[in-house]
Amino acid sequence: MTYIEDFAQIIEEQLERVERMKNAQEAPDFASMDKIVIGTIDGDGIGPIIMDSCRAILEKLLADEIASGKIELRTIEGLTIENRIARMETVPADVLAAIKECDLLLKGPTTTPGKGDGRPNLESANVTLRRELDLFANVRPVVIPEKNIDWIFYRENTEGEYALGSKGVDINDDLSIDFKVTTTAGTTRLARAAFEYARNNGNKNVSIITKANIMKKTDGKFLSLCKEVAEDYPENKVEDWYVDIMAANLIDDKINSNFNVFILPNLYGDIITDEAAQMQGGVGTAGSANIGGRYAMFEAIHGTAPRMVEDGIAEYANPASLCRAAVMMLRHMGMTDKAAVLETALDDVAKALFMPGDGRGNTAYDFTDYVLEHI
């Protein structure tokens, strides 16, 4: 197959995906469901340690619902880097089938092979799951009360550079090309979710983040579509910013508290939300939600911390990010009271324990014990 044929196949696949988006399923009504299945996925590296912590906390917090059969915490196995390489599948088919039997997912970090690490060129498991489950919105809140910062980021989750990150083309030894994807349906549904949140939470300010002055087709389309959706929400103040300027604005204490809701394409959202989380106290302090129609997945925003594993200090990993994701999951289910209980305990444990992640201070087990005593 020539590179021209490769490109033609990519276009056909994306056109098919557009048609599938037009027939996407609607979100379930959790209140009316007889049983809610929450799949828990350990992941790699420090993943099993922080998931054990979060699972124990949820088992206590949801003890009545689990006992009555309203909620099931189901362990999904097989999404480890070892199994994925052995099967040569980014998400093995049997694992994906088990995942699709769940209503919600709580997921630990998973390893993505990198260039030069000697592993096969497998796609990111997150990218695959977001695509297969059509989890189009990555939602990440960042709150810094002492700076009057209350941000929430709506990052497009299934398009941009990441959608085809493993399908770039080597034209020859001198030229390689990757691809960026923007669709009308993909951008519009993300923008509408963000504007609905802004409206339902006090008509918050909305900032659209692109590099539309350079990426005129893809980012230009993203910006235009977001502005079209904004016309349905005249009560919200709407601004558009270039991503490089916004990266600077976030650390400018003279203006950063003026921002509320952000709408971003995939790559920019990945970078900007890590910057924002670092301001909050580090990526280990933040959780994220991946929202679609039929499915939703909640996860820590940090990676697998291979250095901690290699250094034998994995037990010092901080489960806070995954537990923050669990708070978002509980709210998504409509269990706001339980979400508030867990969130308060997490705020308290952050003040009570010292967890620098370098083999000093408290361990994940100390974290678990503290939270269990305070919920």
Percent of the chain exceeding pLDDT 90 equals: 70
pLDDT tops 90 at residue 327: yes
pLDDT tops 90 at residue 21: no
Closest CA to 164 of 134, 135, 123: 123
Q: Which domain holds residue 73?
A: 33-135+292-375
Query: Which CATH number do you get for residue 79?
Result: 3.40.718.10
Q: Stretch 53-80: mean pLDDT, rounded? A: 97
pLDDT of 288: 87
Residue 210 lies in a domain: no
Residue 21 lies in a domain: no
Position 17 confidence tier, pLDDT thresholds 50, 70, 90: confident
Residue 55 lies in a domain: yes
- In whole angstroms, what is the distance from residue 180 CA to residue 290 CA? 20
Closest CA to 193 of 280, 290, 297, 310: 290
Residue 12 lies in a domain: no
- In whole angstroms, what is the distance from residue 306 CA to residue 286 CA? 19
pLDDT of 169: 80
Position 284 confidence tier, pLDDT thresholds 50, 70, 90: low
pLDDT tops 90 at residue 234: yes
Phi, psi dihedral angles at 303 (to 5 degrees) = -90, -160
Residue 300 lies in a domain: yes
pLDDT tops 60 at residue 1: no
Residue in the structure block whose two tokens are 């993505």: 112
Q: Stretch 171-193: mean pLDDT, rounded? A: 91
Phi, psi dihedral angles at 154 (to 5 degrees) = -105, 100
pLDDT of 370: 98
Q: Stretch 40-68: mean pLDDT, rounded? A: 97
Rounded to 10 degrees, what is the CA torsion of 279, 284, 285, 289?
Answer: 110
Residue 190 lies in a domain: no
Task: Indicate the number of domains in the chain.
Answer: 1
- In whole angstroms, what is the distance from residue 148 CA to residue 351 CA? 19
Position 308 confidence tier, pLDDT thresholds 50, 70, 90: very high
Residue 94 lies in a domain: yes
Lowest-confidence region among 22-31, 175-184, 225-234, 358-367 = 22-31
pLDDT of 203: 77
- In whole angstroms, what is the distance from residue 21 CA to residue 302 CA? 29
Provide the 3-class DSSP secondary structure of residue 72.
Answer: strand
How does pLDDT run across 201-221, given as a tens digit for each residue?
887 899 999 999 999 999 999
The strands making up 261-264's β-sheet, listed across from edge to edge, are 71-75, 36-41, 104-107, 296-300, 287-291, 137-144, 149-156, 261-264, 206-210, 238-242
pLDDT of 255: 97
In whole numbers, what is the pLDDT of the chain averaged over residues?
92
pLDDT of 109: 94
Residue 256 lies in a domain: no
Q: Stretch 102-131: mean pLDDT, rounded? A: 88
pLDDT tops 60 at residue 105: yes
Of 84 and 117, the one with more pLDDT: 84
Q: Stretch 250-254: mean pLDDT, rounded? A: 96
Instruction: Tally Cβ neighbours within 10 Å of residue 221.
Output: 17
- In whole angstroms, what is the distance from residue 55 CA to residue 75 CA? 10
Q: Looking at this protein, which amino acid is placed at residue 334?
A: G
Q: What are 253's two structure tokens?
A: 């204490």
pLDDT of 130: 87
Q: How many residues are recorded in the chain?
A: 375
